[in-house]
Structures are given as structure tokens and as C-alpha cells.
């Protein structure tokens, strides 16, 4: 899968458009703490794309907002479809490289070469998918989205990726790596911020960029 997934500059450009729209929606809703106006307070990150997502490193702006009401001034971090929390690597890399570890017939070292991600980092991600994510509120809420049975928690993230691919195919949409990544990013949006509640309110209805479907 990784060998077939050289994610393009256009792909990350479209994700950036989605992030900008999510940020606009969050700003329009006002400060989640006091209801005050939210102003742009974007900042630069230094994302890593590894071997197959190097094109994403150029799209480094993280959308962020700051309350303009005196006495609050709290930062609000909108959900993102590019960044998975504070992880240095882009979300698509975390997802696809973790899947590669699960389905690899070669050694971990070979996966490191194929993805450009160190083995220590891959093992840490595997632990997050295995232990932390299944117990998170993100997954507890997301699980209800799937018709029974939901994706096998013991096989995250491969089971999640496989289910999303099947959903695309059932809708007669070819299941490409980029399309699955977009759907997964929308599903994982709640895990990308702790300052916005009801993430589906801002991510839902965005659709998938036309170029990706």
C-alpha cells in the first residue's frame, strides 16, 4: 500500500482547503468558552512527510484561532485533516505507515526504508493505535458510525482503513489511497484537538474534494 501511495502536492493542497473551511466554521461559531469573537492566530509547523508524503511538507500552516474578548483571550485549535495532534509527521503518514507495519511481510527495517519513518516512531504509533485510540472518546463516538460489526479494535488502523475502503466501493467509488486518507482524516478529526467540542458539527457536510473522488 505504501509503495502505491506517493501522495501528491495537489492532494495536500486540497486538504489545506478543507482545513481552511473547518477553521472558518469554528471561527463563525465564536469562542467555545465565552462566546467572544475568534480571530486568526495561525502558526507555522514543520511537518514531516517521510518517503511517500514529502509533498505535504510544503503545507505547513496550522490554522488556529484566538478569542478577542478581554479577560478570555483563550486559543481555540480547530480540527484538522492534515495534522494528528502534536505529532511531527503528517496524519496520512501516521495512518499509512502504521498500516504498513501491520501488513508487512518484510522486516520492520524494510518498512522504515519504505516509509522514511524510524522504527522507534513506528512502534510508538502502533502502541497508540493498540492501547490509546480504542479507549478514546474519538473512537467511542466514531464506533456508532459503522454498521455492526465495527472495525476490529485489535487490528487498528488496518481494520479502519479496510472498512472505509469497503464503504467507498459500496458507493461505487473506486477505493484509492488518497480517498481513504480523506475519509479517515474526517473520522479522526476529533483526535486532532482538545479545545473544540462536537467536532462533527464543523467537519460534517464538507464532503470530499471533487479531485479526490
The whole-angstrom distance between residue 159's C-alpha and the CA centroid of its chain comes to 16
Domain residue ranges of the chain, discontinuous segments joined by +: 2-206
- Select from 96, 165, 172, 104 the least CA-distant residue to 129: 96
Q: Are 159 and 152 in contact (CB under 8 A)?
A: yes
The pLDDT assigned to 4 comes to 55
User: In a 3-state reduction of DSSP, which class is residue 174?
Assistant: coil
DSSP secondary structure, 82-136, as one string: SB-TT-SBBHHHHHHHHHHHHH-SS-HHHHHHHH---HHHHHHHHHIIIIIGGGS
Q: What is the pTM of this model?
A: 0.92
Mean pLDDT by 10 residues, the chain (213 residues): 73 95 97 97 96 95 97 96 96 95 84 93 96 96 93 96 94 87 94 92 72 44
SS3 state of residue 47: coil
Query: What's the confidence (pLDDT) of residue 174?
Result: 83
Amino acid at each position: 500500500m505504501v509503495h502505491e501511495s506517493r501522495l501528491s502536492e495537489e492532494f495536500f493542497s486540497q486538504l489545506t482547503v478543507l482545513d481552511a473551511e473547518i477553521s472558518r466554521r469554528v471561527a463563525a461559531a465564536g469562542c467555545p468558552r465565552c462566546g467572544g469573537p475568534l480571530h486568526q492566530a495561525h502558526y507555522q509547523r514543520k511537518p514531516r512527510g517521510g518517503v511517500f508524503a514529502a509533498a505535504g511538507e510544503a503545507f505547513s500552516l496550522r490554522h488556529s484561532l484566538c478569542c478577542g474578548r478581554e479577560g478570555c483571550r483563550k486559543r481555540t485549535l480547530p480540527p484538522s485533516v492534515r495534522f494528528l495532534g502534536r505529532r511531527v509527521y503528517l496524519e496520512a503518514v501516521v495512518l499509512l505507515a502504521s498500516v504498513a507495519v501491520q501488513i508487512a511481510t518484510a522486516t520492520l527495517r524494510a518498512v522504515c526504508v519504505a516509509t522514511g519513518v524510524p522504527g522507534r516512531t513506528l512502534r510508538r504509533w502502533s502502541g497508540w493505535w493498540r492501547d490509546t485510540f480504542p479507549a478514546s472518546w474519538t473512537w467511542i463516538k466514531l464506533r456508532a458510525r459503522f454498521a455492526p460489526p465495527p472495525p476490529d479494535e485489535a487490528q487498528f488502523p488496518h481494520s479502519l482503513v479496510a472498512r472505509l475502503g469497503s464503504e467507498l466501493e459500496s458507493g461505487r467509488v473506486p477505493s484509492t489511497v488518497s480517498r481513504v486518507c480523506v475519509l479517515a482524516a474526517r473520522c479522526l478529526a476529533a483526535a486532532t484537538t482538545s479545545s473544540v467540542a462536537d467536532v462533527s458539527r464543523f467537519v460534517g457536510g464538507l464532503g470530499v474534494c471533487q479531485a479526490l473522488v
